[in-house]
A and B are shown apart, each in its own frame.
Chain A
């Protein structure tokens, strides 16, 4: 790969036929000041306030319907059978599900359009990188419509800021609070916890899911020396962090649905100790103080540096490069543009052999950019990514999708790309000359085998399909 091809494909997200600028290291760093946090497609997508308002009114209606309906006889005679849902409850659930899927499809399309039309493809790639680092998975009804808003509202505004600010924004975003169950966690000795315990009612208590993943996935990384005790203490400090209208904590005066809310009534009182440091009781700010320290912890720097190096220099991150990125991260207190500049300056990220097998998302966006597309149908793009094995914002686990070739280079995955490429090419209708396009997409880097295959193709459409699945298109 030439330097220009590396800049376009390894750092960027693929060339467009109408790209005119020269492509080198300067082109990459010049993108940072030009990045648009809210390009038109994303400004038009549903935001978390809208989605959360729908969810809150749906949940309220469901509670009212359940309270109104007398318990069916089935419950009394056979306690193991789940209660039969009334038609109204079921219809409301279906309507909510449909709405959530529409919101999800619209958000996926907004993400794709932003990637197709961006003037700052390197920064756009970084947004996708961080969204996968701070992954939520659109599996549950409450998360389906909110998943994209985490990327739009917590990642994009901070992708060129400090890591600690991005961390704070992510952990306070409704999608994350709901996905990892933080919104329902209750301190056992909090006012609400004690009241429920005194009544002997249904059990409420601590949920350590988010606290664990913050330590393991978002900051320090797995096996970096923290213990179960640190997880539990962070979980206690975080009690009270919830979502207005959708979480626990009681009270009518919660503010607009979906907004971050500190519910003092469920906060576990007391001093907390995390990684050996004591944090005074400080309500909402107790957990913020822990997050501030985690964001600049050396283990966090190593974790972030390793993942960035893996993303740009290959599945096995070069130790010297990791060490450099880590040092910059620590020296600057997690200033991300400084880290990105060190990344661009790393020779390990400019080696001529392709270092990464593209993920389905990377391959799809690059293919659509190659075809000059500027828009997509909401359902179509979400469906394509599902077929290719990487539904957007749906990794099924809080670790996000793997960033190594073994996860994506499967026989069936390659076959799917070939099927999709043929469909793309047939839509392009023979108007594109793949032989010329190849040189634009991979300047100075098209192999003899690919050139020959394109020249021998039986039709312009077939040549285009072959170009989209050529080795040059599969790796970066």
Chain B
């Protein structure tokens, strides 16, 4: 049945597709692949997520923060996963999860906000690149699949750019009446910015009719919501979820465990929500930088450098931790305090995305991470 809301929506969708036709004409079939980027804002502690229990210095330097790994999942001879990541451990056992350690973006200072800008724009330094790499990724997808969505009320930097993207977060406000929606559309007709935003809002609304009832309060609900936004054939192919609360300067043991439990629930809800589509999905988990190796005076850790990252999904060549381990001995640390980065996060993300969407790795690097264009993408992250 074609009700008025759907009618408005499809009329507007036509307008949007016309106005924002892709610059490069890719004569490619629509892709079934989905990609979700979960950003950890605040510098998630890589060593607290994936402990280097086989490193002789680990237990000593991490003190209280090493204890929980006694009940964590052994990943290999060197690493163990935090026990709060139970679902994620299950994916690893099924070879659907790859972890990378001692990894970092090109950013080498310790400001969250600059670091997140580098992580999201794909630049070499903050504010050098003006749009986000997820937005540029849309240019690499077949034209009729190039749809992105932020699972948030506003669009984060990584998704901002030339391509129009949608945003959606559950609302407790009552739905506005259809008649008002239509009149707002007419009122915004002559206002380029508001017209564009409104068209996106209406298009998203038609996909999520009854989602306003879903409880967005917790991580699992957000994961479920994201799954529902990317599962439909005409839904988004690329989604971004923002998580905060990783800046554990004090009392890290309990706080990080709670954070990781939330992340684990989110990943589990995504997998469950996608069902068979999990085979077509890749989930990236990454943060702006790592934290200090040593525990500070308040049971926490401070801003550092090397971190960990994850790629999960049905097609991932998983069950392994990739790391050129620099060691945790005093002489091995970066600036005498941080985990030394030995792998480029750009190369990890570029390799994962290229393999997932079947894009030539060099092209993926040049498009997503222009500053790292000559860095070789890490290959073999997806089963062939």
Contact = CB atoms under 8 A, between A and B. Distances in A.
Given A412-B204, A418-B184, A457-B183, A79 B70 contact: yes
A207 B296 contact: yes
Interface stretch (B152-160, B366-374, B376-384): B152-160
A415 B177 contact: no
Interface stretch (B49-57, B168-176, B219-227): B168-176
Nearest to B166: A411
A470 B187 contact: yes
Given A82-B254, A228-B335, A397-B112, A422 B297 contact: no
Given A78-B71, A207-B296, A453 B187 contact: yes
Interface of A: 78-80, 82, 139, 180-181, 184-186, 188, 203-209, 212, 216, 222-223, 228, 357, 383, 387-389, 396-397, 399, 406-416, 418-423, 449-450, 453, 456-458, 462, 465-466, 469-471, 474
B250 A184 contact: yes
28 contacts: A181-B300, A184-B250, A184-B298, A185-B298, A203-B63, A206-B296, A208-B296, A209-B250, A209-B302, A222-B114, A388-B153, A389-B169, A396-B41, A396-B244, A410-B154, A411-B167, A411-B168, A413-B153, A415-B171, A415-B198, A415-B205, A418-B176, A418-B180, A422-B177, A449-B189, A466-B183, A466-B187, A471-B194
A77 B262 CA distance: 26
A414 B155 contact: no
Contact of A462 (B166, B175, B179, B297): B179
Contact of B298 (A181, A410, A470): A181
A212 B114 CA distance: 14
A297 to B, nearest CB: 18
A1 to B, nearest CB: 15
A409 B195 CA distance: 11
Given A212-B303, A462-B183, A466-B180, A411 B173 contact: no
B201 interface: yes
Contacts of B175: 419
A389 B153 contact: yes
B153 A465 contact: no
B249 interface: yes
A460 B57 CA distance: 72
A422 B110 contact: no
Contact of A406 (B111, B155, B199, B296): B155
A79 to B, nearest CB: 6
Which of B41, B188, B189, B190 counts the most A-chain CB atoms under 10 A from its CB? B188
A462 B178 CA distance: 12
Interface string B320-345: 00000000000000010000000000
B138 to A, nearest CB: 16
Interface of B: 41-42, 63, 67-68, 70-71, 83, 109-114, 126, 150, 152-155, 157, 160, 166-169, 171-177, 179-181, 183-184, 186-191, 193-194, 197-201, 204-205, 244-245, 247, 249-250, 254, 257, 295-300, 302-303, 335
Given A207-B298, A421-B176, 18 more contacts: A181-B249, A181-B250, A184-B298, A203-B295, A205-B298, A223-B114, A406-B160, A409-B197, A410-B152, A411-B199, A411-B204, A415-B205, A418-B184, A419-B175, A422-B180, A423-B174, A450-B187, A453-B187
A80 B68 CA distance: 5
B244 to A, nearest CB: 5
Contacts of A410: 150, 152-155, 167, 197
Contacts of B168: 411-412
A465 B73 CA distance: 55
A419 B153 contact: no
A22 to B, nearest CB: 30
A409 B193 contact: yes
A465 B172 CA distance: 18
Contacts of B177: 422
A474 B188 CA distance: 11
A347 B148 CA distance: 40
User: What are the 3 closest A-B residue pairs judged by CB atoms, nearest first?
Assistant: A205-B297, A410-B154, A411-B201
Contacts of A78: 71
A396 B243 CA distance: 10
A102 to B, nearest CB: 20
A203 B297 contact: yes
Contacts of B250: 181, 184, 207, 209
Contacts of B110: 212, 228
B154 A412 contact: yes
B155 A80 contact: no
A63 to B, nearest CB: 15
Contact of B249 (A209, A396, A470): A209
A474 B194 contact: yes
A423 B184 CA distance: 15
A408 B109 CA distance: 28
